[in-house]
Amino acid sequence: MLWSWLFTTQNVMPRLCVRFYKPSDLTLTSHHIMSLLEYTQPALSALPEPAQALLRNPTAQKTLAGVGAFLLARAANQFLSRCAHQNWTVNSAWKADAELVLLTGGTSGIGKQVMEDLSKQGVRVIILDINEPNFTLPSNVSFYKTNITNSADIAAVAKTIRENHGDPTVLINNAGVGHDGSILEEPESKIRQTFEVNTISHFLMVKEFLPAMVKANHGHVVTVASMASFVALGEMVDYCCSKVSALAFHEGLRQELRHWYNAPNVRTSVIHPLWVRTPMITMLTDQGSNFKQPIMTPQVVADAICKQILTQRSGQILLPKSQSIASVVRAMPFWLQEAVRTHASGDLRKMRLAQAQAEAVKN
């Protein structure tokens, strides 16, 4: 027995019919497998006798059928996800000389690595940062000192950028801050700064630079979020909240681009790194063996960001891939969610206790 599910997609497939079957309809019997083996007999005859015997075994046949069905379903899922991320549209060819990348927080850490990698590809890059670079910029990179949490500052520098370089076609909202301290200990000024840089600046930058992308129906907005978008830890609650907001911003922006602004070819990517060895987490990396969680280099994250840009693909990237299970934590039973959060927070708490003991010994 079968039935059909019809749904509408824009631009490429006005009507796509996907047919679903009951599990019993999809069961591959030994008869089906044997029929297939008859067509592949010449190839099978070249195999060693033990391998031929194994392939004729009904249990082995069902196992192979199950593995094949899983791999086919996985490939179909990946294909449909890629199409959905691209809004069912096709990219034009990437032309480096026609693109202009605007990067916030590009004078250190992840941003600096992204700038270096893109400039080597011949891409023009503009850095907006409150901190001036302490290194020589490549010839195709420009820097403007800007407070990205202030709309007047952004408007002023935007005017200069348009006059000297044109409209940016790629916006990387990379700038971020993080402060340590529990909810009761952290000063209000630091909490506000965390949200202004990690969340509010995304709104201000997009409000200024997205209209030109919408008009051209071409561009890319990259949001650098964090694994903290999925798992909240103690002593960094404000940071976690700001990165949950960054993810929601990315998701909502996708909806508006497609359904409000009719600009489905403007790409959107969100990047979720775990710990990255940057100045922002020096307080953690200085603890050596006391900090137990995996730490990546900025290069790993920069590679992922540049790949999204150069291939003009939308997507959601979790790094490292081995930790991608974090994205489904909130779908787990509550007791299991708490176990994950307790494990992660526990590492931070143990590190703090070790740090306090070391300070006590010093004094």
72-91: pLDDT as tens digits: 887 888 788 778 878 888 87
For residue 37, what pLDDT band results from cuts at 50, 70 and 90? low
Nearest CA-CA partner of 270 in 209, 321, 315, 204: 315
* Average pLDDT, integer, range 93-109: 94
* Average pLDDT, integer, range 178-197: 96
* Average pLDDT, integer, range 230-256: 96
d(CA 176, CA 225): 9
Average of per-residue pLDDT values in the chain = 86
pLDDT of res. 39 = 58
* Average pLDDT, integer, range 249-275: 97
pLDDT of res. 51 = 74
* Average pLDDT, integer, range 182-191: 96
Find out whether 298 and 127 touch, Cβ atoms under 8 Å.
no
pLDDT of res. 194 = 98
Catalytic residues: 239, 243
Question: Cis omega before residue 187 (within 30°)?
Answer: no
* Average pLDDT, integer, range 4-13: 41
In this model, does residue 108 exceed pLDDT 70? yes
Nearest CA-CA partner of 18 in 83, 71, 90, 66: 83
d(CA 47, CA 196): 65
E-assigned strands of 90-245? 100-104, 124-129, 141-145, 170-173, 219-224
pLDDT of res. 123 = 97
Query: Whose structure tokens read 């307080």?
Result: 283
3-state secondary structure at position 56 = helix
Query: Whose structure tokens read 């800007």?
Result: 146
The CA-atom distances, in angstroms, between 29 and each of 17, 26, 61, 69, 70 are 27, 9, 9, 13, 16
Q: What does the pLDDT look like over 118-159, one tens digit per residue?
A: 999 999 999 999 999 999 999 999 999 999 999 999 999 999
For residue 297, what pLDDT band results from cuts at 50, 70 and 90? very high
